[in-house]
Structure formats: C-alpha cells, structure tokens
Chain A
Amino acid sequence: MKILRTAILCLAALLVVSAANAQNDWIRTGTGLGQEKVRLAVADFKSSGADPRTNPLIKTFNDTLWNDLDNAGIFDMASKSFYPLQQPSTPGEVKLDAWGNPPASAAMLAFGNLGVVGPDVLVSGWLDDVKNTQSPIVLGKQYKEEATEPNARLIAHKFANEIIFRLGGGVNGITESKIYYISKRSGHKEVWAMDYDGADQHQITHLGALASLSPRISPDGSRIAFSSYPKGAGLEIMMYSNELGRMVTFPRFGGTNATPAWSPDGTKIAFASSMHGSMEIYVADASGTAPRRLTTARGPDVAPVWNPKTGAQIAFVSGRSGLPQIYTMDADGSNVQRMTDQGYAVSPSWSPNGQFLAFAWRRNYGPGAPGGWDIYVMDIASKQFIQLTHDAGNNDFPTWSPDGRHITFQRGGNGREEIWTMLADGSKAHALTNTGGNSQPSWGTK
C-alpha cells in the first residue's frame, strides 16, 4: 500500500507541474510578454568627440540603455562577449553579416554615438534590422540635451522607449515612468517617487504626520491622492499637486477614509470610508464633492480599484464572508462577484488591458498554515490564477506597470519592507530600493 501511495503522490506532483506550465503560457500571452523574444544586440555607443566630459556620460548612457532593454521583457539580449570586435558608431560602419551570424546571431542591432559639443550632449542612435540587407535601418534618432548625468540617463530612456515601441507592437515602454511609494527614511512615512528602475529616489510630501498611506497617482500624472492623519482628525484622503508642488485641499469626511483610487479618465475617485458607520466603498468627483456609497453589504469593504480599460467595473476587498476576499462589481455597485474562494486576499490591482487582477493572497490562512503572503494574478474571465512569488517572505501591494508587462510590489515585513519589481509572469524579480523601509508602490501611468 505504501508503494501505491507513493505512486499516487508522484502522479499528483506531475499533474501540478504540467498545470503550472500551461498557466505560464496564458499569463505570457495575456501580458504581451510573448512566447518568443526578439534577439537584440546593443553595441556600446562610441564617443564622437574628444571632450573629457564624454566618458562618464557614455558609461551612464550605455548602462541605462542596456538595463532598459534588458528589463523590457520582450528582448532576448545577445551577450556582449559575442559581439564582433569592430563595433559601429554610424550606419555606414555596420557589417550586418558579422552581427547576424553566430555567435551574436542578432535579429536587431542598436548602435550609435555620443559626444559633448559645447554645453550640450549630442546622441545619435540607430536600430538596424540585421536580416534585411536592402534597407536595414528601422529607426534613426538624434537627441540634444544639456550635458549632465541625469540627461544622459533620460536620453537612454527615450531611445530605449523608441525601440520598445517599434518592436513591441506599438506599446509604449515604461522607461520614463515613475513609481510612487511610501518611505520612512525621513523618520515619518512620507510619499516618495523614483524612476521605474529605482534611480532618482526623492521625497514628495513633507507633512511630518503620523503616517501617510497608499499613494495613487492620477492618470494624467498631475495629482497624487493618498491617505494620512491631519491634525486633530482620523485617517483622511489627502491630495498633492505635482504641478503646483504642494498640497491642495480635499474635503474631510470624518471617520476613517483610506485607499483612494482614480477612475481611468481621472474624473472620479473611489475610496473606502466609514463616514456613515461601517467601512464601505464610496465614489466622489476628483475634487472630493458628492460622495456616493456603492456597497451596502455587512462587513468592511476597502481597497477599490477601477478597471483601467473600461472604467465600468471596480474590484475591491470585502470581509462580508469572514476573512477578506477579492470581489468585483460594476461601477454603480451592482453585479457583485466574488473572485477568490479561500484564505486571505487583499490589495487588488487591475491590469491595464482589463484582463487580469493581481493581488496578495495567503491561500492557507491560520496559525501554522503552510505558505506565505504571495502575489497572484487571476484571469478575470476564467478565474484561473497563477502564483508569481514563491518562498520569499511577505509580498503585498502589487501594482501593474502601464504597459502591463511588469508588476512592482512590496516584499519583507516588520518595518523592513522594500520595493521590488518583476515581469508579469514572475520572472526577473529584483529589488528597486534597499534601505530605510519602503512600501505600498503605485506605478504612474506616465
């Protein structure tokens, strides 16, 4: 009987493995990560001038360009050790054969030059279709900015974006997008922002308040909604204007108000509030006027997010059936549907194409239960789900990138959270922050 039991266990394990593979397929097709990737070679940009300021800028530029393209999720990067010795800096110098043949075997080649002329840095970049000998040039771009390190990074981001846009089927890259998050590096929990790759981390708000929570950037990037404790009040929704560089007024409703979320057109805000007793979902205008209650069920309802594709649905977390679970409803509060069926599920984030929900889930909840807090993605139509993080502490607050190919989230616990990012199929996870406790990321759409 023991043999039989072992055999059945083996069988079950195999079935689970093959099911996981099938799941990987649909998540990739749904997120545009694709089954196959473009083989891309990126020759180091060459110096086109003798100015001594050129060298550090070139290094920044080359590193940034490589990282951007490597992180894009749609390229198979040809390793630099396979490149021909003679690296081109202008289209005339390209020997297509040398790049297209093994070992480089590239389908596409990015190259160019960078030089400092007077106060400015001048970058010329090209993208060649290596297999097309007749008209290889796919893209040719020139950039001119003041010769500073941040500008070298900016130009690399812009050029990488062009390549991703062309080869990724018209989906804009995220290299110029920003991530907003909560950091307590200043001693208080304040709203911070950084580039998508973790560079240029800087503080946005200086409230010195008890704590700020759950920042959400508006779709046009002009305002940040978050919740915080103003003097003499409970948790309230606050609004910061990126354009004015200061806080702007937002009505106080009393009770506890948290987890604001922007509608895709930026005209409405959904949030959780206990202004009339229990915690329910409300929708108000972007200025905070005319709040309207959407949920009525017993038990708390929090953390609303809109379907960014249609704006017609809202996903939220509800405790109406005991432990928190993910639900969806139409934007007027009707047609409530339960998405998760067990455990403890929180922090939903709706993918830009409207197809998926990402959320944090502890599937086996309770003292001594196996498994941890992990990020899951669910296909809303079929309710199939896939686990993206495994055996890596507590993971929470997933948020989708605007291109739908990446997810950033918080990992760690007990005040030592840091912000991580990964491709939407769970691969290429790496930390963006590594000091001071950073949490609750929100990916800007611009």
Chain B
Amino acid sequence: MRARADIYSEQDSWKRPLIWSAGLHGILVASVFIYAAVMGGVHGEDWGGSSSGGGAMSATLVSKSAIPLPRKEVQTENVLANESEGLTQSQPKQVEQPPPEAIPIPEKTVKPTKPKPSIDKSKITPPPSNVVPYGESGPVNAPTTMVNLSGSPGGLSFGSGDFGARYAWYVDAVRRKVSENWHKYEIDPNISNARRVYITFDILRNGDATNIEVEQSSGVPSLDMSATRALQRIDTFGPLPPGYNANKVSVEFWFDYKK
C-alpha cells in the first residue's frame, strides 16, 4: 500500500538541474576571469600598439608624436579667482524695479571721511610687460625632462645651466637607457603606490655613471633598490657631447611608482 508520495525516492530528477547549475556557475566564473584577462591585456598598448612586436593590426600611418595635441592643461594653485576677461560676454542683469507700494528704508547718516592723499602716479614704475601674476604661471621652466617609466611618470634634471636645452638628444638617450634598465619585477608586488623617489648621480666625460645615491627615499626599500640597480646596471650612457666642456654632469632623476 503506497498512499503517500516519497519525495526522497525521486533522486534521478535532481541530476540534470544540478549539472546545469554547476555548468552555468562555471561559465559565470570563467567569464569573470576572461573579462579580467581581456581588460588586463588592454592596459598599456599591447595590441596593435607601437610597442607590440608587429601585430596584425599595427597600421601606424601617423605616429603619436605627429598628432599636434594641445599642451596639457596645468592646474594652478591660485586660491583667488582669476580676474581675466572671459571670451564670452554676459548679458547685463535686468534691474528689478521695486514694487510701487514699498516704503524706502531711511539711509543711515554717514560720517564724512578724510580725503586720501593722492599718489603721484608718475613715480610708480610700471610692471614689465612679461610679468606673470602670482599663481597664474605654469610649472617652473627648469631644464627638466618628463619621463615615463613603464607607466610611471618621472623626470630628469641635468645639473644647472642649459645642458638639457642644448643636448636634448643626450638627455633623451639617458632617459631611454634608464627606463630600459629599470626592471619593474624587482619591486615588491604588494606595493601599488609609493612616494616619489629621487636618485642623484654623475655622468663622467666617458659616459660612466658614478656617485649613485638615493637622495630622497620613497619609503619602499624595494623601489629604492630597483631604481639604484637600474643605474648600476648601466655600463655607460655614452660619452658626453663633444661640445660640452665640463668633466661631468650631475643628474637628478625621480619617478612616481604607480602600479
């Protein structure tokens, strides 16, 4: 006599839905990984970019430097409003007529003020025409080259004087050589952000780098170490430009590490 339905005996019907569930969950997890891998691969310019080793899509008719992009907007730290005239002109505000029944408030009596002594305007020297109001200039125009080390911004400044301007090609070669020899895998993988690290060194007449020192630490030992190693790894930067008279040039080199 089987009067009641025994649901535990119907085990067979569970198998298919379970497989489907497991399969769909698996696809869901896999698609998350695929998405992460695809997005991870898109970072930088791996596919079809100029650094990729000749992918099928790297049809570069116009190089990046060829596009005359506008200069990057510089954020000034001026707390005051800039009073320069804008390009657009605002409409004069309509003067609101007071309602006729309003009773005017009697004005306060004002104390008579002493007249200010007039300033002899001829004695004031006019400001030079090229003066830049405080806080409205861009960054200081020092002989500094911006560098980009595998995605991390950095800079190089060459001693004092106009070395950077006269021998821009040499500064460029130094920059390339440093970034080529900087191995990011030496940095602690747990670090994603670090303070700016400053390294100083001298380039001798024959191109050797000496006196490599960490001027200001980033607080991350492995980052300081990798930057120092990058410079130690370099045998030579190539002899200093023939027209340059001094025996060495001092270089300050900094970068911000960002993962």
Residues on A lying within 8 angstroms of B by beta carbon are: 1, 3-4, 7-8, 10-11, 14-15, 17-18, 21, 24-26, 28-30, 32-36, 38-39, 76, 102-103, 105, 107-108, 129, 131-132, 134-135, 138, 165-171, 382, 425-427
A17 touches B183 (CB 8 A): no
Given A18-B40, A29-B182, A102-B66, do A4 and B173 touch, yes or no (CB 8 Å)?
A: no
Q: Which of B77-85, B135-143, B231-239 contacts A (4 or more CB under 8 A)?
A: B231-239
Q: Which of B49-57, B102-110, B115-123 contacts A (4 or more CB under 8 A)?
A: B49-57
Interface string of B143-185 (1 = CB under 8 A from A): 0000000100000000000000110110011101101111101
A170 touches B165 (CB 8 A): no
Residues on B lying within 8 angstroms of A by beta carbon are: 19, 23, 26-27, 30-31, 33-34, 37-38, 40-41, 46, 50-54, 62-63, 65-68, 150, 165-166, 168-169, 172-174, 176-177, 179-183, 185, 207, 234-239, 241, 243
- Closest approach, in angstroms, between the C-beta of B150 and any C-beta of chain A? 7
How many inter-chain residue pairs (CB < 8 Å) link A and B? Answer: 121
- Selected A-B contacts with CB under 8 Å, 11 pairs: A8-B26, A18-B37, A29-B181, A29-B183, A35-B150, A76-B50, A102-B68, A105-B62, A105-B63, A132-B168, A135-B166
A129 touches B168 (CB 8 A): yes
Given A11-B30, A21-B52, do A4 and B23 touch, yes or no (CB 8 Å)?
A: yes
A15 touches B150 (CB 8 A): no
> Which of B53, B165, B173, B243 is the one whose CB lies under 8 Å from A166?
B173
> Which of A8, A38, A105, A169 is the one whose CB lies under 8 Å from B237?
A169
- Closest approach, in angstroms, between the C-beta of B65 and any C-beta of chain A? 5
Given A8-B30, A14-B38, do A138 and B169 touch, yes or no (CB 8 Å)?
A: yes
> Which of B19, B37, B243 is the one whose CB lies under 8 Å from A15?
B37
**C-alpha spacing A17/B53, complex, angstroms:** 13
**C-alpha spacing A53/B227, complex, angstroms:** 54
Kindly list chain A residues whose C-beta atoms are within 8 Å of the C-beta of B166: 132, 134-135
Kindly list chain A residues whose C-beta atoms are within 8 Å of the C-beta of B169: 108, 129, 132, 138, 166-167
**Interface of A, helix, strand, loop or mixed by DSSP:** mixed
Interface-central residue, A24, A25, A134, A382, by most chain B CB under 10 Å: A25
A11 touches B173 (CB 8 A): no
7 tightest A-B CB contacts, nearest first: A170-B238, A105-B66, A7-B30, A169-B177, A102-B66, A170-B236, A14-B37
Given A7-B26, A11-B37, do A32 and B180 touch, yes or no (CB 8 Å)?
A: yes
> Which of B46, B177, B183 is the one whose CB lies under 8 Å from A21?
B46
> Which of B150, B174, B182 is the one whose CB lies under 8 Å from A169?
B174
- Closest approach, in angstroms, between the C-beta of B21 and any C-beta of chain A? 12
- Closest approach, in angstroms, between the C-beta of B184 and any C-beta of chain A? 8
**C-alpha spacing A368/B34, complex, angstroms:** 32
> Which of A24, A26, A33, A35 is the one whose CB lies under 8 Å from B179?
A35
A39 touches B63 (CB 8 A): yes
**C-alpha spacing A427/B46, complex, angstroms:** 15
**C-alpha spacing A426/B54, complex, angstroms:** 11
Kindly list chain B residues whose C-beta atoms are within 8 Å of the C-beta of A171: 236, 238
**C-alpha spacing A105/B68, complex, angstroms:** 10
Kindly list chain B residues whose C-beta atoms are within 8 Å of the C-beta of A168: 173, 238
Kindly list chain B residues whose C-beta atoms are within 8 Å of the C-beta of A129: 168-169
**A128 to B, closest residue via Cβ:** B169
Given A1-B19, A7-B26, A169-B173, do A107 and B238 touch, yes or no (CB 8 Å)?
A: no
